[in-house]
Structure 1
Amino acid sequence: MTTLVLCVDRSDDIGRTAGLESPIVGWEAVQSLVTDVGLDDPEDSQVNCLLEALRVARDLHDDREDSVVAVVSGGSGSLVGADRALSAQVDDLIAEYDPDSAVVVIDSADDERVVPVIESRVRVDSVDRVVVRQAHDIESTYYLLKQFLADEELRSTVLVPLGATLLLLPILLTQFSTAVALAGLAGLLGAALLYKGLAVDEFLSEVPERVRSALYSGRVSVVTYAVSFGLALVGAFLGALAVSPRAGPESAVVGAMQFVYSAVPWLALAALTASAGRLLDELIGSDGVSTPYLNLPFGVVALGLVVRGFAGWFLQRESLLADPQVLSYAVTPQQRLAAFIVAGIVVSLVGVRVAASVSGEALEDTVQKQ
């Protein structure tokens, strides 16, 4: 099996530089040509094209395949004349060496247009496109764009949001002002990039399979997650109802505190329900309960107490929350906040103690079994 390695020079830059007629055939001839062209113009990309042709021929020789390396070029001022001269040189090489296939080495988009001419005469197994890393011309840009368009993931990440933006722009401009249209498009484009950058699509694609496996495995956490989601919605609804409209620069802070104060108990209950379901799954399993799952319920309660305490302090300072009475004694905002903080710390310490005792018992059982 003989492979013809063709270095294509459609514009005949190599012939004019070296003063030689094409085709130039043979390892030694092409190697000498590299030196001549490189000394005349070291920045010419044809030098890299010639070296790549030699490398391909060497690799084929190492694989115990017969190869013939040759340089073909156009010899006329017009494109048609150049292509005819190049095709005639290819015909001569095929008639002399009778190759079974060819490997075409090119370094520009212009040379790539000759590939169909060569394919009409001999089977082309590969087209080797040489892009010089240091080159910053239009040809390198062309190949980089071609590689970019060949990547399906990059196309879906960049081109799809860009195309949707260009389609929506004239519609929004006809319905809204320029500022509103551009702001809306910027928001949509940012959401699309975050959706892809944070791998939200991958997470959503895995959700049905996770739910299916959880249902088939009989986990209690599936039900508790649904209950916790409902409790979280109730908390958000009650928090929104608790916000009273007020005027002034402090209205936003006060409204946020009213929302937090009313929603935190329900949100904490939702998190406690979800963690309880996960804890039951661990108890039902054969591996025992790990320490993080024991700490989680106590941590949720402690965090809820602290957050509600701070929110109550803000509201009590604004006279939106009545001062609690303890044995006919009015509790100040500072005392109320301190009580909630202390309660949160106590609950957290109790959780640590419970987790440590359970872990110690599990460790003793493991030692006794061994």
Structure 2
Amino acid sequence: MSLKDSKMEKKLDTPLTSRLLVICVDRDNDVGDKAGVLTPVVGRDSCIGAAQKLALQDPEDADANSIFFAIKTYEDLVSKGYQAEVIVVAGVGDRGVQADEKIIREVKSVLSSFSANGAVIVSDGEDDESVIPIIQNVVPIVSVQRCVMKVSRSVEYSYAVFGKYLKMIAYDSKYSKFFLGVPGILLLIGGIGTISGYTQEIFAVLVSILGGAFLIRAFDVDRAWANWSKPTPAGLIRMFTMVTGVIIGLASILSGFSAIHTNILDPQVIGTGVPNILSDRVTFGQFIAGAIPFLWIGMGAIFGGILLSNWLKGSLRQITDVLRMIVLVSLYPTVYQFTNLLINDESSFTLIPPFLAGLAITLISATFLFRKYRKKKGGEVLSE
């Protein structure tokens, strides 16, 4: 074998990454909420202590096993000659954007003291692995290890697991509200309808309730409302401005009808056909002209409440909230001119000046806001 081939073989055998960071991800922060451990947890001994605390608090939690799996992975890497470190990072209980932001901050803080050129991700499921693309923006990921629990497949164990889930459905309010509450309401209404003889009407009500329950659960309406109505200053402001904005928005419909010169509620007018009246260009323009002031005020109240709420929380989203308000104001002249075009039969070219002015204001404001943000935050890019 030539000297050149020997060097090539030695180069191929040399690992591409000599400093590896083993990252155990706990996106829902069980290690913090259950065991009271502050993250990031750095080092083998500290990780063992965190895993032991979590296992003592909740022996059935898979995150404790994931931490031990990460420690074993770390020891294997060290035995193979790698310079490695093991850490545990955690998000927040509600997961979502805040959890991902917290995880990436913790990874960056560890990398500032341990300069790794590769990472090994250890998780116990797909939820924790959803942060992989985010971590990969900070440090290259060379491997992903999933910790899968070995469980008994006996019939007794299956019955035990099934009984455990039945107990959760019966006694855990998080699940019983949907799995027991909704069927209970349907059965109660169905029984009352059968006794009273209103079978068809009750059936329609049952279908509506069931459909509404499915929609609420499918789109997380209950969780969204719970977050919006939390008894905090930010939550109360959001709830107040949302309700106020919706009421003002509904009032815009009445304002639009009152702006129409023809009394559209007159029985004689209704007899001629409301769709024909609304299809008239002038009438439609009068309706829009009367509605948009209240509609814009309602939307402004909602957007302003979101802005004030994020400002109180110190959230970075206040930048986009300010821009949203600017866009709303910039659009008003264009929409108003559109109503003049419908009512007064003006030229369509009259829409161009307010459109260009609004576009210029939006672009200038966006440039100024994001430059100011980057200057304060060291060049980071704001993302939703």
In our comparison, the structure showing a higher alpha carbon Rg is: 1
Whether these two folds match at TM > 0.5 is: no
State the TM-score, normalized to the length of structure 2.
0.40
